[in-house]
Amino acid sequence: MLRFTPEQEVQTRADLTAALKITHDVTAQINNANRTLANEMTRLDLGKRIIDWRGFRLEALGSLLLEAKLVVCMDDVDKEMHVFLFDRILLCCKEKKNKMVAIGSSNTSAPMLSIKGRVLMKQIQTPVAYTQGGTNIYHK
Q: Over the stretch 36-75, which tens digit does the pLDDT of each residue have?
A: 999 999 999 999 999 999 999 999 999 999 999 988 887 8
* 4 within domain boundaries: no
135 φ, ψ (degrees, to nearest 5):
-115, 135
Residue 15 lies in a domain: yes
For 60-74, give the DSSP string.
Answer: GG--EEEEEEEEEEE
| 3-state secondary structure at position 90 | strand
Note down the domain range covering 15: 10-139
pLDDT at position 72: 82
- Structural domain tally of the chain? 1
Q: Measure the CA–CA gap between 86 and 47, rounded to whole angstroms.
A: 13
**Mean pLDDT, all residues of the chain:** 86
pLDDT of residue 59: 92
What Å distances lie between residue 1 and 5, 23, 102, CA to CA?
Answer: 6, 14, 49
- What is the pTM (predicted TM-score) of this model? 0.71
Instruction: Say which residue, 67 or 105, is predicted with more confidence.
Output: 67
- Does a structural domain hold residue 76? yes
- Considering the domain boundaries, does residue 5 fall inside one? no
Looking at the chain, list the stretches that DSSP marks H as alpha helix, in order from N- to C-terminal side. 10-49
Closest among 60, 66, 125, 72 to 90, alpha carbons compared: 66
Instruction: State the pLDDT at residue 140.
Output: 44
Please give the Cα distance from 89 to 118 (Å, whole number): 7
Percent of the chain surpassing pLDDT 70 = 90
Q: pLDDT band for position 133 (50/70/90)?
A: low
